[in-house]
A and B are shown apart, each in its own frame.
Chain A
């Protein structure tokens, strides 16, 4: 079992594991994510990173859950890694050094959630304009813009 093999390599890296709906989901200690990713790529042949994304669990603390979707074509298996970096302005190591695919996905998480990725080659906004302030996918960011009051119209 993949979770057991990882625990055998570094017991403190894997915080928990679950397998609902046929999908393996591992919770990884945030400081160890780059090492775990490298291990999964090199030893367990997860050559593909499908995506890096995030879920805002506000008002839970730590609020951001960074999700890594890995895929191995050889093993025909997928695994989901999750981390919860803590703090007011959470930071986590970039995995661009493991898969170049992480580049744009981490920029998207930075842009829409505000999580910084250490050692990212080019961490800047990707979808929103460069001068935007705020991180739109956060739960405390409004879903609609300022409401227009039709009675303000002068006829």
Chain B
């Protein structure tokens, strides 16, 4: 099944041994999207490498940017000003909503609910326009850089974000009206793709699948980063650990993310959007044009790149799919020595064969969708 198949959400190849319609054995064959990103990291300098991070988990590019930037900022010992941190949280949560909308749209499309797909993408358009307003890019924003944000937040950014946040909860109600009590949806998802919590944890699964199995583990709460501890939100859980439970968890997460965006919007602190670190962060262009030291710093940063002290960190964030981690190793030069990306989907896919074996092929499609993997962070 695959790699070219509309329901494999990317180029996943599943090898299914069938007995009629029942899957006897399943295994995943990955690597079709492997582009050697980890090797590429070693060729670029630290700030250039941010553009590589967007493309790893391409449905939540800002989350990747955030994880990498936090890891390198830890090594550098940079203090990120509150305004930048809150903006990071705001955009990161919009990214989470964005990713869950794509998941909901494609997952329901696989199971036959085609209109949900169009409604989800209608909301997604609003979010992509907001991203374009901030960074000039709809998807591969690279908006979070080492030291803060890439550009100053645009004038008037509050209006479209406020409009989105005001209207979004009623949209989620619309999706729920279409699916949650829909007999066809319930029949196709309840009891399907079950796996016990212990097995999921043992196989390296993370994220909403763990929360749908009963464990309220969310890295934003347990290992908070970028001021998440200042926000008030809940971590939804269910206990049934089937496709329907995962659907409920993710829909509730969308609502909670909208709640966080609202808090970030209303409480956004004023102040600098880049760290005060002239040897790392580019100076303002006006300063660069008039002050000698600023010009020299600009020249050195752009031509040589800044150096990061020797050391290594493993920074984790809660991506829409689970634990996203960047293990960054520095040898003191201006290029990363090694960057290992712990993509949540790599672990999540390991848990898939057990969910699928012994069930029908169409249940396999439902289980696949509920895993919400993105081949970008499986294969890199």
Contact = CB atoms under 8 A, between A and B. Distances in A.
Given A69-B342, A136-B36, A143-B43, A103 B31 contact: no
Interface string A89-115: 000000000011101110000001000
Interface residues of B, number: 38
Interface string B94-129: 000000000000000000000000000000000000
Range, interface on chain A: 20 to 34
A101 B379 CA distance: 16
A104 B346 contact: yes
A83 interface: no
Nearest to A55: B338
A49 B200 CA distance: 12
A76 B350 contact: no
Nearest to A132: B31
A31 B317 CA distance: 32
A23 B314 contact: yes
Interface in B22-71: 30-31, 34, 36, 38-40, 42-43
A13 interface: no
Interface stretch (B139-147, B215-223, B231-239, B250-258): B215-223
B201 A48 contact: yes
B337 interface: yes
Given A21-B75, A53-B340, A100-B350, A69 B201 contact: no
B202 A100 contact: yes
B349 to A, nearest CB: 8
Contacts of A128: 31, 34
Contact of A76 (B31, B223, B380): B223
B327 interface: yes
A127 B337 contact: no
B169 to A, nearest CB: 31
Interface string A7-42: 000000000000011010100000000000000000
B329 interface: yes
Report whether over half of chain B's contact residues are helix, strand or loop; otherwise say mixed.
Answer: mixed
B325 interface: yes
B204 interface: yes
A56 B339 CA distance: 11
Nearest to B337: A55
Interface in A97-155: 99-101, 103-105, 112, 125-129, 136-137, 141, 143
Contact of B74 (A21, A78, A143): A21
B342 A50 contact: yes
B43 to A, nearest CB: 5
B39 A136 contact: yes
Contacts of B380: 127
B69 to A, nearest CB: 15
Interface string B294-320: 000000000000000001111010000
> Lowest 4 A-B CB distances belong to which pairs?
A101-B204, A127-B31, A127-B34, A53-B340
Given A20-B311, A50-B314, 6 more contacts: A21-B75, A21-B313, A25-B312, A67-B327, A69-B314, A78-B314
Interface of B: 30-31, 34, 36, 38-40, 42-43, 74-75, 201-204, 215, 217, 222-223, 311-314, 316, 323, 325, 327, 329, 337-338, 340, 342, 346-347, 349-350, 379-380
Interface of A: 20-21, 23, 25, 47-51, 53, 55-56, 67, 69, 73, 76, 78, 80, 99-101, 103-105, 112, 125-129, 136-137, 141, 143
